[in-house]
A and B are shown apart, each in its own frame.
Chain A
Amino acid sequence: MDWKTLQALLSGVNKYSTAFGRIWLSVVFVFRVLVYVVAAERVWGDEQKDFDCNTKQPGCTNVCYDEFFPISNIRLWALQLIFVTCPSLLVILHVAYREERERRHRQKHGDQCSKLYDDTGKKHGGLWWTYLLSLVFKLLIEFLFLYLLHTLWYGFGMPRLVQCANVAPCPNTVDCYIARPTEKKLFTYFMVGASAVCIVLTFCEICYLIFHRVVRSLHRKGQRGGRGHAPSASRASTCRCHHKLLEAADPSPDSRDSKLCASAPTMTPI
């Protein structure tokens, strides 16, 4: 199980995403995951070994390291990347649920009956809300991790020297030197920058979705003013097959011919 598995899982979301969503996924995998794997991980590789404190007191170095790095930056980024990509799985689950429902409907009513959904991947009805919610969760998770990073490490910087005071077993205020602080600061800024770009993209995508929906419903209202009842993309739960209507209504053979050209199934928009 590694980043490739996550990438394979999320590549499926691309089909149901908007253009912003696809750009977001490329930014996440190229500028965040790839940079994390090929560069950033190695920078933090020797962080505890090369955390050097000006003392011979056994245990002082360990305790000071733990005081300043309760959780390593690199582990926090790994968690951030996993949590930020997970809401997209909600969309995949919803589409899979729709497909399963469509399959069961066909099994029950046969192939003659019209489909529940014109396109299970189209962002109409419940799927639109799921997609919007996934974007909102992504935004919240990004902000939460940026806040954590800012709080735990006193801003996004990385000092060369940290002073460890009043921490047993250190005998006095001890100077401790972090390994590669400039390189770590550079990668922290890079990852924060990439996170900011992803936040902007997610925000644009939310605006685009809402705007698109408003325009579509205004357009539909205009059409309805002219024509009357318009069909919807999802017709779940109230579809009734026309051959079952015939059977229920009139069993006599004489009236069958006149009813053969009967109606389409009744549809209720959801």
Chain B
Amino acid sequence: MDWGTLHTFVGGVNKHSTSIGKVWVTVLFVFRVMILVVAAQEVWGDEQEDFVCNTLQPGCRNVCYDHFFPVSHIRLWALQLIFVSTPALLVAMHVAYYRHEAARRFRRGETRSEFKDLEDIKRQKVRIEGSLWWTYTSSIFFRIVFEAAFMYVFYFLYNGYHLPWVLKCGIQPCPNLVDCFISRPTEKTVFTIFMISASVICMLLNVAELCYLLLKVCFRRSKRAQTQKAAPNHALKESKQNEMNELISEGGQNAITGFPS
């Protein structure tokens, strides 16, 4: 179980996503998960070992590290990526439910004209409309909320996105105000800014996708309203023409059979 499994989960939903959704998945796995796994984890690998305090007092280093880094960046990013990918599971479950219902109707013989066989049901791309549209939109909304929440948590916990090279610590059992030095602060700042930027890009893509879905629905509804306006006039004309045709044909028949009018 690792990031590859999450990629399989989320990748499966990709088939039914919009184009913006597909771009989002690529950005997520290439620019965030992959960077986290191949680079960021190495940078933060020695974070507590090389967190050095100017004291020999046992326990002071531990306590100071815990005070300044209540949760490591790496763990926060891992949780952020898991939470941000999870709403896609809602869509996957909805699609699975839809296919289950379609398979059940197919077995009963109700939708034989729509699908050739059960495999066809599994292969067919499900359109984002009806209740699936609501599920998909909710999943995008939750993604945006989770991204924003984690970005705020980062800002709140670390007083910004910059890591200083020295921290002053005076917590028990440190005997006085002690200087503590973080390992690789500049490299960590660079990666923090990179991950935050990738997070912002993903958020913008999600907002764009949400706007696209809303516009699509509005456009579809206005098109339907226009078709309905034109259609009643057309239907009225047709029915009047049919009545006239019937009258003509009855009149003709009466003339032939000599029926009294």
B72-93 vs A, CB cutoff 8 Å, 1 = contact: the mask equals: 1011001100100010010001
Interface residues of B in 194-246 (CB under 8 A from A): none
**B119 contacts chain A at the CB level, 8 A cutoff:** no
Q: Are B82 and A30 in contact (CB under 8 A)?
A: yes
Q: Which listed residue, B6, B49, B58, B59, touches A30 by the CB 8 Å rule?
A: B6
Complexed CA–CA distance, A38 and B4 (Å): 11
B1-12 vs A, CB cutoff 8 Å, 1 = contact: the mask equals: 111011001000
Closest to A38 in B: B78
Nearest chain A CB to B139's CB is how many angstroms away?
Answer: 14
Closest to A55 in B: B58
Question: What are the residues of chain A within 8 A of B1 when measuring CB–CB?
Answer: 2-4, 6-7, 29, 33-34, 37
Q: Which listed residue, A33, A160, A190, touches B63 by the CB 8 Å rule?
A: A160
Q: A30-B9, A37-B1 are in contact. Are A46 and B48 (CB under 8 A)?
A: yes
Interface residues of A in 2-51 (CB under 8 A from B): 2-4, 6-7, 19, 22-23, 26, 29-31, 33-35, 37-39, 42-43, 46, 50
Interface of B is mostly: helix
Closest to B85 in A: A30
Closest to B171 in A: A160
Q: Are B78 and A39 in contact (CB under 8 A)?
A: yes
**A250 contacts chain B at the CB level, 8 A cutoff:** no
What total of chain B residues lie within 8 Å of the partner, measured CB to CB? 31
Nearest chain B CB to A158's CB is how many angstroms away?
Answer: 10
Closest to B172 in A: A161
Nearest chain A CB to B163's CB is how many angstroms away?
Answer: 17
Question: What are the residues of chain B within 8 A of A39 when measuring CB–CB?
Answer: 74-75, 78-79
A166-199 vs B, CB cutoff 8 Å, 1 = contact: the mask equals: 0000000001111111110011001000000000
**B42 contacts chain A at the CB level, 8 A cutoff:** no
Nearest chain B CB to A48's CB is how many angstroms away?
Answer: 13
Q: Are B63 and A183 in contact (CB under 8 A)?
A: no
Q: Are B66 and A180 in contact (CB under 8 A)?
A: yes
The residues of A with any CB-CB pair to B shorter than 8 Å are: 2-4, 6-7, 19, 22-23, 26, 29-31, 33-35, 37-39, 42-43, 46, 50, 52-55, 160-161, 175-183, 186-187, 190
Known pairs A53-B58, A54-B173. 16 more at Cβ < 8 A? A2-B1, A3-B1, A30-B9, A34-B2, A34-B5, A35-B79, A39-B78, A46-B48, A46-B49, A50-B48, A52-B58, A175-B58, A176-B59, A177-B62, A182-B71, A186-B71
